[in-house]
Structure 1
Amino acid sequence: MDRASVRERANDLPREPGVYQFRDDDATLYVGKAVDLRDRVRSYTDPRSRRIARMVERSVEIEPAVTDTETQALLLEANLIKRHSPRYNVRLKDDKSYPLVQLTDHEFPRIEITRDPDPGATAFGPYTERGRVETVVKALRETYGIRGCSDHKFAGRERPCLDHDIGLCTAPCTGEIGEEEYVGDVESVERFFEGSAGILADPL
């Protein structure tokens, strides 16, 4: 695509949050997110690096997806990168400095932000904005009460901890919630990270 084509496509886009894909005839080359789709895509008329300029030149179309919130755009971007493995998103795929969210492989899974997921854990990401992800995880814990403590602390509890007192955990360690109900809440968190609408209002 040349600059005129990118500008023309950008002018057709809404000034809303979302995700965009640069595609050639066969595959997705790059996935990005935006607070304002029109402004973000328009910025590619003047690429800041030769690498991005080559990506734009190879592209034949720009495919947008509007989201309700910036948080949804962040999650959708990560999901699309995982699905398509775009050539020009190599840094995000391979750089371990970007955080993931994991649900550990445990009878009562723990949720946490990490750069090195535990064996057997269910991991989501990586994500480009740690601060936003921290806010999302806190909101999910407030909504579903998923524990954040270590397995060692979990095993040694005799009464609910401070996280339970302030509404961040349903205290499965002391039987305040049963396994079936807790696992149901964990599954709701998984659906949120997989992009299901209506699981949680945008916490930001």
Structure 2
Amino acid sequence: MGRQLVLATRNPGKLRELRQLLAGVPELADVEVLGAGDIEGVPEVAETGVTFEENSRLKSQAVAKATNLPAIADDSGLTVDVLGAAPGVWSAMWSGRTGDDQANIDTLQGQLADVAVERLTAYFSSTVVLTLPDGTERVHVGRVDGRLTRDQRGTNGFGYDPIFELPDGRTLAELSDDDKNAISHRGNAFRALLPDLVELLS
């Protein structure tokens, strides 16, 4: 059996993204990336942390312990400058309904209705934690800057992508998967992790 690692998610998009990144690194091309749902007995881990790093660490440690395999977890979200750290770790449940993207967008846009459009600067951040069964850890952060739009544009992506505009004027939802992965906060964090994977999985 070849080398394996577990991505602490049941999200097929995240699995696909990490598999594509590893396939492009000759030293990692033989690594099989499993999802948390691919292995029996992997627990659902409650994200009780108050930072992206805390949530990522909770998930990666629990999955590494349950599987005895290297585990990677990420937590990410949107930060709107005029709202301080919000929505932050609460991005997926900002409306009070976890995972309801449209309700989250509507809630956020309602809160920002009186804010001048030039003040709607924001960024997406992702913190990725790699945990080995022996407790060794590596942490990386990725970020992409932009601003929020009043209108929703594009049909690709999820979450706040249709209202997150990049400096080139396109929203994340208007990008192809490849273009988004090349600049996204999660893609940036995963790419920063690759040298650690080469070192620690050899």
TM-score, structure 1 normalization = 0.30
Structure whose alpha-carbon radius of gyration is higher: 1
Answer 1 or 2: which has greater strand percent. 2
